[in-house]
Amino acid sequence: MNYDNFMRRAISLADAYKYTAKPNPVVGAILLKNKIIISEGAHQKYGAAHAEINAINKAKKLIGKKFESFEELTLICTLEPCNHFGKTGPCSDAIINSGIKKVVIGSKDPNPKVSGAGIQNLIKHGVDVEVGICDELVKKQNKFFFFKHEFNRPYVTVKIASSKDEKSHNKDGSSTWITCKKSRDDVQQVRINHDAILTGGNTLINDNPRMNARVNFIANQPKKILLTNKKNIDFTKKFFKNAEVDILQETNIKKVIDRYKNSEINSILVEAGPKLVNSFLSDGLVDELIIYESPDLLGSNGVNWFEEDNAVENFGFKLESSYKIESDLKKIYKNVKR
Ligand SMILES: NC(=O)c1ccc[n+]([C@@H]2O[C@H](COP(=O)([O-])OP(=O)(O)OC[C@H]3O[C@@H](n4cnc5c(N)ncnc54)[C@H](OP(=O)(O)O)[C@@H]3O)[C@@H](O)[C@H]2O)c1
């Protein structure tokens, strides 16, 4: 039987919860009897029940109505069922205990705690397992999660706002919005897509930014990371309001990123000024660079983003897409050196 369409359906079930499941991967599950969907489930909320368990629990209420025994059912799930005791019990055991005899999996879990172990447990208990259905779609849907396990560090995006003459801010410290309101609204979406937002001690003091994601839907806010060696941090700054903040007295960028390789943070958005951004870029630790470019000039009172011409390309970035946001231009670059 071809399960592609059912797997696509499970992927779309998972997608609905991408802002509340994070930093966990999103997962969808379906129970089928022949070609009829009996129940559906998704991992809806960080720390809450997994997709397979939700689908099994819903189906339990339909025994004797839509089917007689779980042995008749096939479980479709986008990601390999877990085999470890995390916040919930192992899903592979719950599947085995339900009596399900066939499981179709989108993608093997890249997490070393799980990878292959869930599948092995199912096979050991006589469950027929098929793996790799719409594998690429599942990987794309959980891009940061797969990246983290492949490269053993979170995905790093740098976002900057730039004047047409490639300046970051005014030398005299006078505040100015570089980009238009619509671009700044767009940044909220970029923020909510990431698991953490990182900035430096000067930006904290000079700009007093909130750096939360102001979105009009329910979402898990990104964690915040502050790099500073300053003593006497001013905790009344907006950055600290209602936020979980890691304050790191570390200037070695590689060590900063390494700190998160065993955490649940799969992606970090860097929103800082030229010094810190250039440190990230020169250490080769940036995967994606987003530039919001305004048509205005800051002129001689502006601080340059980069020291040399074609710096972005020289750092190994290639323009992947660009489009207008009112009079601004949003440019997305990907690191092609990695
Ligand atoms: N246009 C934009 O998109 C944008 C975005 C953000 C900020 N800005 C502007 O940028 C200005 C500040 O820029 P900035 O780069 O000086 O400040 P920053 O963003 O605060 O970054 C530099 C600070 O980060 C900390 N840091 C830790 N490790 C570092 C490393 N390896 N390399 C560099 N810095 C490291 C240090 O903090 P400590 O000194 O506290 O130890 C350092 O002073 C602000 O005035 C703001 O207006 C512009």
Q: pLDDT (tens digit, 9 = 90+) per residue, 80-125?
A: 999 877 666 799 999 999 999 999 999 999 987 778 999 999 999 9
Q: In angstroms, what is the span from residue 278 Cα to ligand 1's centroid?
A: 10
pLDDT value of position 88: 63
**Residue 329 in contact with residue 323, Cβ under 8 Å?**
yes
pLDDT value of position 130: 98
pLDDT value of position 85: 72
pLDDT value of position 168: 96
Q: Whole-prediction pTM value?
A: 0.96
Pocket test for ligand 1, best of 275, 277, 285 (most atoms within 8 A of CB): 275
Within a 10 A sphere around the Cβ of 243, how many other Cβ atoms?
15
Which residue has a Cα nearest atom 14 of ligand 1? 273
Which residue has a Cα nearest atom 28 of ligand 1? 251
Q: In angstroms, what is the span from residue 204 Cα to ligand 1's centroid?
A: 8
Within a 10 A sphere around the Cβ of 303, how many other Cβ atoms?
15
Q: In angstroms, what is the span from residue 313 Cα to ligand 1's centroid?
A: 22
Strand positions, DSSP E, the chain: 28-33, 36-42, 74-79, 102-107, 128-131, 155-162, 167-170, 196-200, 223-227, 245-248, 267-270, 288-293, 302-304, 317-325, 328-335
- DSSP label at residue 255: H
Give me the residues of the chain with pLDDT under 50, please: none
Distance CA 87, CA 26 (A): 15
Within a 10 A sphere around the Cβ of 217, how many other Cβ atoms?
7
Per DSSP, the residues of 157-216 read EEEEEE-TT-EEEETT------S-HHHHHHHHHHHHTSSEEEEEHHHHHHH--------S
